[in-house]
Structure 1
Amino acid sequence: MKPRKILPVFVILACLLLLYILHKNRELTQKNDLSRRMAKEKTVKTVKLSKKMQLKCRGLNKKILSKRILDKIIFETLTKQIQLMQICPWKQNAKLVAQYRSEFKQCCNASQDLVLTQENTVMGQKILYETNRKKSVIVKDMLFQMLPKEPLWSQTLGHCAVVGNGGILNNSRCGQQIDKADFVIRLNLPPLNNENDVGMKTSLVTANPTILRRFDFLSYTRKSFEKMMEVYGQSVVVMPAFSYASCTEPSFRAFFTLKDFNLQNVTFFHPEYLLRLNNYWKSKGLLAQRLSSGMMLVSVALELCSKVTLYGFWPFSSNLNRKPIFHHYYDNVGPKKGVHKMSEEFLLYMQMHSKGLLQLKIGMCS
């Protein structure tokens, strides 16, 4: 008789459980419907917003692309354009990227000739200096053995971050973004004492002629140089040993110092590559006495990388809010007057950004 009394209890419990499940399912369905409606409303608002923004961005691109290199830069207008540019969506133009990569390969060929190697140099060859064609060096055994046996890279470098040293990087919080790139290019042996803003990762770092002139101390002490270079890990170091005659000896000293301390391998810019690159940009209207290190390395990246993002490229003495800033994020020493065309180069970067060739990051990253 007892089982007859227990059976109704199980039935009641089962019914209650079923009702509970149905109730929860109904609640969940209502929540999902509400979420879908909200998402739909949000999407509609976003579309309306983006249409307005698209019109602004198209207008901005037309203005930037219509500028000529020699046009006078009005700083107040420029800052407004840059602020809008950073809001506008950026999309890579794959067709144009391929076209420019082909142009750079035909004119200059960084993949084979960026640096002197045992493949593009022979014993007894006369190397003419980049800036003084009357001066030359004969390739003898010591120099030939200093050169890498083959080109540095045989495949595309992926997403490259080219990091300029502009004071605009201070308080930018770009370090994390920079370090996420596949390949990070830095200019002129910059200090990496602010990881939050400039990152730490380095794949390639250069030294310009001005920096090299500071290496005279390597003839009698090398420990401080070793400490300075440790921060760059096992990156490739490229020096302009044959740009000016005064660059050769300090470049060689740096080579042997880093070799003795088992740090980076030093390579030397091929002077003919730099000359061809200079001529390429002259044909585009950039009439500088010599390209800046930034423009050289941006050109290298456009040929060798699948995507290029620039950070810290800002040649002006005020930030986007028109407040004074240092020329570099680590000092206020400007470039030698009359050698480079920094403002004109910056306009070219803006135009390349507008065309979808590279992405120009200015100001805060996060």
Structure 2
Amino acid sequence: MWMCRMRKCILLWILLASGVFFLLTFWIKYDAALHYREIANKDWRDCLATACGGRRGMRELESAVSPHRPLPTSNSSNTNQNGSTFNKLNLLKADSSSCKELHNRMSATTPRKRYSDDYYIQTVNELQKCSWVIRPEEHEKFRSELSVCCNAVRNFIVSQNNTPLGTNMSYEVENGRTFLITQRIFKMFPQSQPFAGYPYNQCAVVGNGGILKNSACGTEIDQADFVFRCNLPPTLGNISIDVGSKTSLVTLNPSIITHRFGKLNEKRKPFVETVSHYGEAFLLLPAFSFRSNTALSFKVYHTLEAFRGKQKTIFFHPKYLKSLALFWRSKGIKVYRLSSGFMIANAAIELCKEVRLYGFWPFSKNNEGKNISHHYYDNQLPKPGIHSMPKEFYHFLKLHNKGIIKLQFGRCDIT
């Protein structure tokens, strides 16, 4: 009996000793963990107070990771150089790895037959988070490609140098049709390409998209050395705040002459008054794209001559337009005809050291998802089946991504 009790007592002591040993071990490990955590916190604070950004950086990082403070939301925003807003943390992230990833992805992408509007808007919003810089080597490489295929410096405009007297001019679209350049026609052409300031330092190519409304881009546009516009757009009054008023060259579709000015049979004076708003700009017409364009384009020349207008009438060279269409067909734009805005943007890349595009937006919603008109002055949609502006816009995005041109997506800086 006594031996039995002794065994029970010994077993009890062993259990008690084991419990005490376990508690001591746990306490030592816990104390060590607290000690090393304090050392780590001290090192972290020392880093933030010196090389990692100072006390201000320490406070910002502490507040960003603190479980007692909410994380920034989409309303916590800063304004970027293009006037759009986005989260500061997203911008810092995008300016490093995200922008490189986006650049590589867009450079490697083979265009599909069609993308949704949402795809374009998402891509634009991603691009806006990345600061844009011109890349002279990429610009020169692409300019050289255009020069080899199309040579805007020599062939953009019909001139006496590139179209000798007696030439049978082939039309751009109507294959097999020609037009004899007589002495009377030959005298309409400038002796050479009329761009005396070539190469221009900075050019603005202004489309007519509804995205220009409330953009406040007018001042920036007017600061360009050469300003291209399309199809006699309005520039007077308050709208100039958004689109500017300076015009160096403006295209003119003969359909405008037909519908707005009665083919210049009785509305010659209203036409002259309208184009007078563009100062001494060049009026660029596609006289040799279709036969129906030729007589109307020549009427513009003679009307301005009769009224002593300051504007100079010039004509697209059909050889240039054909070559440009073939060049872009090889890159996936297989359309009946390129848009005039796309044509002059390509010419600008050859004629200018830096090209900025405004108002090129072929969608019914802006990049914030709000409904906008097709043009900044009306909501008239283009005829279907002639142009493919979303495809053209896709390639503009790729050129923007490479630093060859700069696309303005929204509001401009207001200084």
Q: TM-score range by the shorter chain?
A: 0.7 to 0.9
Picking from 268, 274, 285, the partner of 2:315 is 268
Q: CA deviation at 1:74?
A: 3.0
1:170-249 mapped onto 2 (5 Å cutoff): 170-193=213-236, 194-214=239-259, 215-249=261-295
Q: Name 2:209's counterpart in structure 1.
A: 166
Q: Name 2:361's counterpart in structure 1.
A: 314
Q: Name 1:122's counterpart in structure 2.
A: 164
Larger displacement relative to structure 2 (134-143 or 195-204): 134-143
Give me the whole-angstrom Cα distance separating, in 1, the residues matched to 2:120 and 2:263. 42
Q: Name 1:342's counterpart in structure 2.
A: 389
Give me the whole-angstrom Cα distance separating, in 1, the residues matched to 2:267 and 2:123. 49
Give the counterpart letter for 2:403 in structure 1.
G
8 Å CA contact 2:263, 2:296 repeated in 1? no
Give me the whole-angstrom Cα distance separating, in 1, the residues matched to 2:331 and 2:120. 22
Give me the whole-angstrom Cα distance separating, in 1, the residues matched to 2:150 and 2:242. 33
1:2-151 mapped onto 2 (5 Å cutoff): 50=92, 52-151=94-193
Q: Equivalent pairs: percent with the same residue?
A: 40
Q: Residue by residue, what CA displacement relative to the aligned partner does 1:123-151 show, whole Å, maximum 9, x if unpaired?
A: 22111111102222111111011111111
SS in structure 2 at match of 1:309: strand
Give me the whole-angstrom Cα distance separating, in 1, the residues matched to 2:346 and 2:373. 25
CA 360–133 in structure 1, closer or farther in 2 if over 3 Å, else same: same
Unaligned runs of at least 5 residues, structure 2 = 1-50, 61-87
1:297-336 mapped onto 2 (5 Å cutoff): 297-336=344-383
SS in structure 1 at match of 2:391: helix
SS in structure 2 at match of 1:162: strand
Q: Name 2:340's counterpart in structure 1.
A: 293
Give the counterpart letter for 1:180 in structure 2.
Q
Q: Residue by residue, what CA displacement relative to the aligned partner does 1:268-291 show, whole Å, maximum 9, x if unpaired?
A: 111111101111111112111111
Larger displacement relative to structure 2 (294-303 or 54-63): 54-63
Q: Residue by residue, what CA displacement relative to the aligned partner does 1:76-96 show, whole Å, maximum 9, x if unpaired?
A: 343232123223111111111
8 Å CA contact 1:219, 1:253 repeated in 2? no
Larger displacement relative to structure 2 (158-167 or 44-53): 44-53
SS in structure 1 at match of 2:158: coil
Larger displacement relative to structure 2 (120-129 or 61-70): 61-70
Q: CA deviation at 1:261?
A: 2.4
CA 200–42 in structure 1, closer or farther in 2 if over 3 Å, else same: farther
Q: CA deviation at 1:48?
A: 11
Give me the whole-angstrom Cα distance separating, in 1, the residues matched to 2:254 and 2:264. 16
SS in structure 2 at match of 1:238: strand
SS in structure 1 at match of 2:200: coil
Q: CA deviation at 1:68?
A: 2.9
1:279 aligns with 2:326: yes
Give the counterpart letter for 1:90 in structure 2.
W
Q: Name 1:22's counterpart in structure 2.
A: none
Give me the whole-angstrom Cα distance separating, in 1, the residues matched to 2:106 and 2:364. 21
Give me the whole-angstrom Cα distance separating, in 1, the residues matched to 2:94 and 2:362. 31
Q: Residue by residue, what CA displacement relative to the aligned partner does 1:159-181 show, whole Å, maximum 9, x if unpaired?
A: 01100100110111111111111
Unaligned runs of at least 5 residues, structure 1 = 1-36
Give me the whole-angstrom Cα distance separating, in 1, the residues matched to 2:386 and 2:338. 8
TM-score relative to the length of structure 2 = 0.74
SS in structure 1 at match of 2:387: coil
Bigger Rg, which one: 2
Q: CA RMSD in A?
A: 2.3
8 Å CA contact 2:357, 2:408 repeated in 1? yes
SS in structure 1 at match of 2:161: coil
Size of the aligned set, in residue pairs, is 329
Give me the whole-angstrom Cα distance separating, in 2, the residues matched to 1:43 and 1:307. 38
